[in-house]
Chains A and B, each alone.
Chain A
Amino acid sequence: MDQDRRSFLGHAGKLLVLTASAAVAWEHVLEGRPEEAPNYRVSDHWWGMAIDIDKCIGCGTCVRACKKENDVPLEPFTFRTWVERYVVDPEDIDHPQVDSVNGGYQGFYDRELLDPRLKMFYVPKLCNQCAHSPCVQVCPVGATFESPDGVVLVDTSYCLGCRYCVQACPYGCRFIDPRTSTVDKCSLCYHRITRGLTTACCETCPTGARVLADLKDPKDPIHAFLREHRVQVLKPQMATGSKTYYNGLDGSVR
C-alpha cells in the first residue's frame, strides 16, 4: 500500500509539473501568434510597403500620425517612422546634405532650394519588414520575430533590452522605449492591418506617397507598381529581403 501511495504521488507530481510546463509553453506559443482577428488568415497575406519618393512633400503628417496611433514617445530620438530631407549635387552623390530635424515631425518648411544645380527630395523611412531580418536573427530569446504574414514584431513582455537587435538593423529602425526599457519599432500597424485597415502613416499621407502592400493579394496595386516602376530597396547589399520598395530612390540615399 505504501509503495502504491508513493508511486501515485510520484506520478501525480510529474503530471502536475508537466501540465504546468505545458501551460507555460502554450502561453508563449499563443504570444507568438498574430492576434486573433475575425476573417483574417495569416497565410493569405504577405505585407510590405511601397513608397513613391516623387510624391513625398515632407509634410511630416505620417510621423505625427504614427506617434499618435502607436503611442510612440515624443522624444526626438524615438521614431517608428521618420522622414529625411536630401539635398544632393547630382555630380557628387557620395556627399549628400541630409537632415531630419525631430524626424520630420514638424515637416520641412524651412528651406528653399535656390541653387538650380542641386536637387532636393524627401525619403520616408520605417522598418523594412525584412524577410531575412538581421534583428530577428540576433535576438537571444526570440522576443522579436517574423509573423507568418511577413511583419517583424516584438514581444515586449519577453524582450531583455539587450539592444543587440538595434545594433543589427542596418537601417536604424529600432529604438529603446525609455518607459519600458524594451525595444520598439514599426509594427506596420499590425493591430490595424489585421482588421482590414491600412497603417496610420498611409492613411494620413496627403499625396499617397506611401501605400500599404499585400504581396499575396493578386488584386493589390503593388503588383502593377512594382512592374511599372524602377523600384529599389534600401541597402540592397545587406541582403535582408526588405519589403519596403522605393520608387525614384536616388543613389545618394543611405
Chain B
Amino acid sequence: MPGVEGFIYPNEFELQWGILIVLYPFITGLVAGAFILASLERVFNVEAVKPTYRLALLTALAFLLVAPLPLQLHLGHPERSFEMYLTPHTQSAMAMFGFVYLWYLMAVLVLEIWLDYRRDIVLRWRASKGISKVVYGAMALWSGNIGPSALELDDRVGRALTVIGIPSAFLLHGYVGFIFGSVKANPWWSTPLMPIVFLFSAIVSGIACILLLYFATCWARRVTVDMRCVDTIAKYLYYAFLVDFTLETLDLVHRLYESDESFHALDFMVKTRLFTSQIVLQILVGTLVPIGLLALTQLFTLRDKARRVIYVLAGGLTLVGIFAMRWNVVIGGQLFSKSFLGYTTYKMQFATREGLLPAVGLLILPFVVLWVLVRLLPPWGEGESAAGGDVAG
C-alpha cells in the first residue's frame, strides 16, 4: 500500500484526525494563553502589560469564537453535535467540551469584556447615530448607568471574574490535553503530563501571539511601541517557555529511559517521519532558537531596536514551534500502528472539507473576527490614538 511501511491494522491506513484537529488545540491554546496574559494586569497588577490588556481579551474572544469550527467541520454529522449538550455521556472527556467551552465563553470571557468595556459602550451609544446607536444600545443592554458606584461595581465583579477566569483558562486547555492524554490505547498520547504540557505550551503560544499582535497594532496605528510593556511580556514568554521546555524534555527523557514496548516504534517515527516537524521545527527552530534569542535579551543590555527585532523573531518562531508541537501530537500519534509493527503517512487533501484550504481559512478567520471586534470595541485608551478621541466625543 502506498505510504505504508510494515504492518498496520486495516483501519489505520487513513488518519482519523487531520489538520483540523491540529488547529483545535492550537486555537484553544492561544485563547488560554492570551487570557492568562490579560489576567496578569488585572489580578496581579502588572502595570507594564496594561497596553495589551484589552487586546489580549479581544484576541482570546476572537479565537474562542472560532475554536469549535474545526471540530464542527471534522464531524461526520455536525448537525448532531448539539446532542453533546442534550445527552452528554458523562464518562467521556470529549462530552465535557461543550460545557467547558460555554462556561469559558459566556461566563468568563464575554462577561469580563462587557464589564470592562461597559463605560465605553455607553459613551459610544450616546455619541453614535443610526445603526451604530442600535448596535451599541443593544451591547449596553439599554442601560446607560455609568455613575461612579456602577463603574466601581463593574470593576469589582470584573476582578472576581478574572480570578475565576484563570483556573477556567487552565481548565479549558488542560482539558484539551486530557482528551489526548487519557487515550490509553495510544502510547504517544497517553501520559499524565499531557494536560500540563498543553497548558504551558498554551501560555507560551498565547503570550507570543499577543506580543506579535501588539507590535502589529502599533505599526498599523503608527504609535510608538511601549518598550517597558514588550520587555515585560518577553520576560514572561521566556520563563513560561523554560517551564514548557522542561516539561517536554521530562516527557522525552522519561520515554527514553523507560523504553517500554512502544519505544522502538516511536523512536523510529521521530527519527524518520516526524524528523522535520519534531526535531527541526518544534525543538530546534520553534523552541531552542526562540529561547536562545530571549535569553540574549535577559542577559545582555541591547538597544531598543535590537530587542524589538528579537521579540518579533522569537514570537514568530514560538508560534511555529507550538503549531509544530500540536501537529506532532495529533498527526504523529496516528502515524504509527497500534500494533507497533508499521507506519502510515498523512495524506493531506487540499480543497476538501478537512483539507488544507479550510484549515488556512480557519487560521485567518480569528484575525477577521478580531478586526471586527477591534472596530467595535477599540482596545486602546482615549489618549493613545485618534480613534480614542471618538470615544470621548
Residue numbers of A with Cβ under 8 A of B are 28, 76-79, 82, 84, 96-100, 103, 125, 134, 137-142, 158-164, 166-176, 180-182, 238, 254
Contact B10 A140 (CB under 8 A): no
Contact A160 B89 (CB under 8 A): no
Chain A to chain B contacts (Cβ below 8 Å), 19 pairs: A76-B13, A78-B11, A98-B7, A125-B9, A134-B183, A138-B91, A138-B183, A139-B89, A141-B87, A141-B89, A141-B92, A161-B76, A162-B76, A170-B184, A170-B185, A172-B339, A175-B11, A176-B16, A182-B76
Residue numbers of B with Cβ under 8 A of A are 6-7, 9-14, 16-17, 71, 74-78, 80-81, 83-84, 87-89, 91-95, 97, 179, 183-186, 334, 337-341
Q: How far is the CA of A176 from the CA of B19 in the complex (A)?
A: 18
Chain A contacts of B14 at CB under 8 A? 77
Known: A137-B91, A162-B74. A174 touches B11 (CB 8 A): yes
Chain A contacts of B74 at CB under 8 A? 162
Interface of B is mostly: loop
Q: How far is the CA of A162 from the CA of B21 in the complex (A)?
A: 10
Known: A134-B184, A138-B94, A139-B89. A103 touches B10 (CB 8 A): yes
Chain A contacts of B71 at CB under 8 A? 162
- Write the nearest CB–CB distance from B222 to chain A, whole angstroms: 46
Q: Can you name 8 extra interface pairs (CB under 8 A) apart from A82-B10, A162-B75, A170-B184?
A: A28-B87, A76-B10, A77-B13, A137-B92, A159-B77, A172-B12, A176-B16, A181-B76
Contact B11 A98 (CB under 8 A): no
Q: Whose C-beta in chain A lies nearest to the C-beta of B11?
A: A175
Chain B contacts of A137 at CB under 8 A? 91-92
Q: How far is the CA of A28 from the CA of B87 in the complex (A)?
A: 10
From B83, B92, B338, A170 is in contact (CB under 8 Å) with: B338
Q: How far is the CA of A180 from the CA of B75 in the complex (A)?
A: 12
Chain A contacts of B95 at CB under 8 A? 140-141
Chain A CB within 10 Å — which of B11, B83, B88, B340 has the most?
B11
Q: How far is the CA of A163 from the CA of B334 in the complex (A)?
A: 12
Chain B contacts of A163 at CB under 8 A? 16-17, 76
Q: How far is the CA of A238 from the CA of B7 in the complex (A)?
A: 21
- Write the nearest CB–CB distance from B258 to chain A, whole angstroms: 14
Q: How far is the CA of A141 from the CA of B75 in the complex (A)?
A: 13
